[in-house]
Amino acid sequence: MPIMAAPRHRPAAMIRVLSNVLTPAELQAVRELLPQVRFGDGRVTNPDSTVKQNLQAPQEDPANARIAQIARDAFMRHADLRIYAQPKQMARTTVVRYEPGMTYGWHVDEALFPSNPPLRSDLSCTLFLNPPQEYDGGELTIELGAQLLTYKLEPGSAILYPSTTIHRVSPVTRGVRLAAITWLQSWIADGARRELMVQLDEARAIAAAQPGGPDLRMQVLLESLRTNLFRMWADT
Ligand SMILES: O=C(O)CCC(=O)C(=O)O
Ligand SMILES: [Fe+2]
């Protein structure tokens, strides 16, 4: 459970918990693959970082690749992710491991990730892979104005947050923290515009659930707004 999360109707700059991204069977498969991952120094992808002290799977690691495929399929069918992220492109997930003393201090994620074409990180995502009881510390904390939002989720659930935010993983003091991290490029670069699309989606759902059936004119107007705003804002 999030220690502190935005109330349902007060979207906090698109920071969202995605519950049950992995099914129990997928989580089990991932947990069986995790011991096969050959972790290396996390600085390999951020050689200049002075705050990154963790382990991560090399991209070519076979167990990491299999976990990435399971995670990708799970993310892409997750209805909330589709609504909140409007994903155009998703980076391959990377499994990360934090042992006692490891941490990733305050930082902001890279703007572009190597891929063809390069992936602009609009949203960052952490999928938790082991139970919070297995480790102390290791919370993901995200700055939101003067507030700090802290997350330590159940395995199989994920947190989706804007890549523009300053965030950190606090030091692990006991046990091991395992997670899979990824980045998404959205069809809609601007988070405020994405948030309006989320509200339109909610309005459509409310209109569709009216007793006696939806008002057909309202339905077509909401559909027109959604489609035409998407046409106006989508990167192609
Ligand atoms: O492990 C996490 O939850 C996120 C780590 C992070 O911020 C990063 O790898 O950029
Ligand atoms: Fe980060």
Cβ partners under 8 Å of residue 106, min gap 6:
51, 143, 166, 167, 168
Q: Provide the pLDDT for residue 14.
A: 84
Q: What is the pLDDT of residue 12?
A: 46
Residue located nearest, by CA, to atom 10 of ligand 1: 109
pTM (predicted TM-score) = 0.92
Residue 55 and residue 110 in contact, taking contact as beta carbons nearer than 8 Å? no
Answer yes or no: is pLDDT of 1 > 50.
no
pLDDT value at residue 213:
87
Closest ligand 1 atom number to CA of residue 109: 10
Binding residues for Fe cation are 107, 109, 167
Length of the chain equals 236
What atom in ligand 1 is closest to the CA of residue 94? 9
Residue 217 host element (H or E): helix 216-233
Residue 59: what pLDDT? 87
**CA 109–ligand 2 middle distance (angstroms):** 5
- Minimum-distance ligand 1 atom for the alpha carbon of 179: 1
ipTM comes to 0.99
* Contact in structure between 96 and 56 (CB atoms under 8 Å): yes
Task: For 16-186, give the CATH class.
Answer: mainly beta
> Domain extents for the chain?
16-186, 191-233
